[in-house]
Structure formats: structure tokens, C-alpha cells
A and B are shown apart, each in its own frame.
Chain A
Amino acid sequence: MLEQMSTRVLACMQCGKCTGSCPESGKTPFNIRMLVRKKQFAAAIAEELPWYCTSCGACTLRCPRDVKPSEVIIELRSALVEDGLMPLALQKALENTAVQKNPWGKSRGKRGVWADKLDIEIPHVSDTESKRLLFTCCIQAYDPRCMVIPSNVARILNKGGLEFGILGEEEGCCGNEIRRIGEAGLNEELQEENKAIMEEYGVKEIIALSPHCMNAFKKEYGDLGIKVTHYTEIVADMIREGTLTVQAPFEKKVIYHDPCFLGKQNGIFEAPREILRAIDGLTLMEFARSRETSLCCEGGGGRMFFEVETTYERNAEVRVNEAVEKGAEVIATACPFCVMTLEDPATEKGITVKELSEILVEVI
């Protein structure tokens, strides 16, 4: 008798919808349907395979039998992590997160540095009336390219008259990617630490800057009794209600790329588009694959921290090529990982990648 697993691999009928929707299938050795099959028979799985998954979630969304193939991947990875069998770069990312609470091993003490350089003062969340927390995210706290995003959003929210605070160096990694890498224990520790600090300061609302963090707080922290939103939802509300007005035009053709964790996994398709539509002169364009079928940029599931061995045309390149063919001038997105992956090929093709906030600060 096969042991019943927490995921529903035994319910799988091998229809192949998962592989059909997987951004890695066809061009890499990764075949999610096959892995589920092997798991059904508890057959050996080559240890490099599970690491291709980008955790985009398409397979789980499309599966007609609720097998949750993306969770099967996490199970496979967990077993490998417990045995220490993982790409070295991921091992480093986990070790860094254990010590510094971010996968890059940057100083935790410098997590709030982006706010020090800002022209407006952001209070600590405990000093706010609303107990509304702007959660920065690791990459946006440290990466010079992404550090502008929290600064921008802080200015935008401030302009819209919204009160909010930050945790500064007390903020730690949300654990979203860590769980997907398969380090359940570390994810638990990160969650506990973040929960404790939020409880201590009586946080009532979280505005997440990264869709990945938002996903974790919304779906994986249990019942926090805290309202969790992505900043684009707040900004869209502000524009709609008139608390934030778009004053200058942005005369460009902008194509919007749906981040997996914002779009297909959490159903936030409209807020970012609504913001873009509100800007004068901006022509909003769409990719052939958008919304639920948006093509993953391959920055999730730990892929931000390591490179798979296979060389192939990256999805980011596919995206950029399509944008260029369609005549877009700017690729807009609302996730730091997407910004990072898209920007590489975009720079080469002479097209700009902007996180939504980067367009917004130019027009308000």
C-alpha cells in the first residue's frame, strides 16, 4: 500500500494539463506530469529536476483533480533539502536567510536604509495611528535597482494622504520563497518571528510591495486578523476616489506583464491596469498571454537565487521580444522579481522595464 500523501498525487489521472501550462516544459528537462506520475509510484526522481519549477502556480490552477502539482514540487524539494541535496546557490540563500533574514545575506541592520534616504519621514509602524504596515520585501530593501520601489510607493501613498509605517530592521523575510525552496522549518521560523513582531506592535493592516510577500501573508500565515493588500489595490482606490490625482501625461506605449503571484495566484488583474488607464497619454497594451495565462518570468520558486544548468531561451526574453514586436516602449509590471528578470534582456533590446510605481511617480 502506498502511503497517502498530503498532496493528492493519487488523484492524478495524468491528463497533462499541468505540463501543458508549465512555463518550463518543452525547453527544459522538467516535466511536471511525469514527476507526479513518479511520485504516484514512489519512483526515483532525478534530484536536479524539482529545481526547475518557478512556483508560478499555473499547474495547480488548471488541474481538474486538485492534485496541486506545485505543492508536489515543494514536497519533493523538502525531502531534498532535508538531505542537503540542492543547488549550492540555493543552499547559500537558505543559510543567508537563517542568519540575516534575507536570501542575499545582506546586513539585517541595513534593511531600513532605503527609508533613511527618503525626502519624507516614515514612522515606525508602532508610532502610527492606523497600525498600517508597509512591508518592504528583501529584494526591495537591498537591491539598488529595486530599492527605488519602496521609496516610490512611500511617496505615492504619502501624497494620497495615507498613514503608514514600517518595521525597518525588525522586518524579516516573509518566507514565501523559502517555503517554495522546500525549507519548511526555516519558513516556520520566519513566520513566527514576523507574526510576533506584528503582534507586538499591534499591526492591523499590511500593504505588501511584492506580490510574493502578499501571497505569504494572505494565504500562508494562518489567520492573522490583519488585512493584507498589494499596494496597487490601494493606489487604484486612491485614484478612483480622487485622493490621488494624476497630473502629468505619460506619452508612451506601455505593455503590462502580470506577475504570477499578483495575477493568476491572487486574482489581482484589474488594479494595476486601472492605474495605467488613469494616466493621460499612456497607451495600454496587452501581451498575447496575459492575465490568467500570463507567461511566468521565471523569477519565482527560488529561481531568483540560482541558475538552472540548462541554457535555453528564457521566458523573459520571449516576453521582451513580444513587447518589441508589438511596438511597446515600456514593459510595466508590479513585482520586483519580474523587474529583475525582464530587465536583463530588455536593456539589450533597447526597451525599458518599469515597475508601476516608477511610472506613477513621474505623473503625480
Chain B
Amino acid sequence: MSLSAIWGLVQTALELGVTCSLTVLALFLSYSMLNVCDLSTDGCFTLGAAVGAVVAIAGHPYLSIPAAMAAGMLSGFVTAVLQTRMGIDSLLAGIIVNTGLYSINIAVMGKSSLLNMNKTETVFTKVKALLADTPLAGYQELLIALAAVALVIVFLTLFLRTRLGLAIRATGDNPDMVRSSSINPVFTTTVGLCVANAFTGLSGCLLAQSQKSVNIDIGSGMVTIALASLLIGQTFLGRGSIAKRAVGMVLGSVIFRLVYTIALRLNMPAFMLKLVSSVIVIIAIAGPYLKTQLPMLEKRLAGSRKGGG
């Protein structure tokens, strides 16, 4: 395999990793900070992709990005209202919204489950034209994704230091404290989920436009993939400042895609992607738990041996 072929694979992994890391950053806010596992992520990712594509096809390449983010925000708002105002369990709220979004996404895509953007002017084609005669030609996917990720990280770092950001973090960190304080957990949860889902929508929009097509399944399994990336990132840069941890999320996402690319080269079939992400999430969450259980298990085994059955 030639060097350029290897670089080609790495570049694709980087593009995918960085683009999808926006979803990981969304989970960083909802899962790590608010302590809400937002299962509407898959549907919201597809929603962002669909809305972004439709707006771009309608001839508004730049408008497609804020439109996708606004759609994501709206979806997050619905999830938040269900769990804070309607008494629906937060996991169930996510699942319900996710299911509902499937129909909405097909409706957005004009009753079709596939949209093609081969001849559509998108942010990527615009930037590609700009880069045409520079040394960076051909890197528009990576550059746009990196720029988006950098903006989101800067935003998150600043936002989580504001009083509202601190209140959101406290809501996830100690709900008991928040309940008897002047922070309204309904408000903080709603804002947190809206912002997080705006990022998820943005992530979907950028992935669809860089791939020049939207499939109704583009977001399926995304929550597990993002969670796997988040947990990988946490093992590398899990402590320290918000900025450092946010960079860790991007790193986790890129590592996940690189490992996946390598596994593909080793003849792992492509359909294994979702199983791999599931196994990573299981190991990352169950591992530390089992480690705490191990001494107890050893004691019990030793005890039963001594007791002689």
C-alpha cells in the first residue's frame, strides 16, 4: 500500500472523526455536564442533515448551517419539555423524540429517504473554490470541520464559565443542591439540551454536505458512536479544564475513526461499525464498575473455598 493511499485513508478518518466530534461535544454537554443521556441524538443528527440539505438545495448554502442548528435546538427543546414539564423519564423522552423525528425527517426530505446534493452548492463547494490554487486545495472537508469544532470548543469553554453554564453543570453534578437553591433545574436542563442538540444538528448538516447526500439512516447508531468517542476521549483527557476536556472529546472521536479504519484494512466488514461502538461503550462503562466489584468477588470465592462447600 502506497504512502498516498495510507494518507488518503487517514484523511478520511480525520474528516469523519472531526465532523462527528461535534456530536461528541454535544454529548459532552448533555451527558457529562447535565448528566442526561440524550437518546434523541440519532434523530437529531439526521434532522440537521436533512434540514441543512433541503436549505442548501433550495440555493442557500450558508443559511443551511444556522437552519440545521435551529432545527436541532427545536428538537432539544421538545426533549427537554417532555422530561422537565410532562413527567416523562429522560431516557424515554429521548426515545420518543427519536422515533417521532424519523417521520419528520422523511417529511423534511420531501417524502423521500434519500437526498442527493451532487450538483448542489454547499459550504464545501464554496470553500473548495476558494482553496483551488492554494497548497490547501482538497482539504476543504477537514478545514471546515476543524473550524466548526474550534468555534464550538471556544463557545463551550466560555459558556460553561458563565453563571448559566455553572448552573447547568451544577444541575448535573448535584441535583439535590440545585433543587433547594435559586437555580431552576427546568430552565438549566432546557437550555443545556437546546445548545447540545444545536451542535448535533450542525454535525449532521456538515457530514451530509461533505458526503453530498443524506440518507434517512445517516444518524442511526450515532449516539453510541459518540458515546464511545466520548469515553475514549475521557480516558486520555478526562481531567482538568473544560477546554482540555473538550479537546479530549475531539481526540476520542478521531481515535475511534482511526481504529475503525485500521480494523477495516484488516478485513473487518464495514457493517461491524455499530457492534464495535457498542462493545467500546460497554467496556468503558462496565470496566470501572467490574473493577470495583473484583475484590468482593475474590473474597467470596476465597470464602467459599475455605468453607469447603
Q: A and B, one complex?
A: no
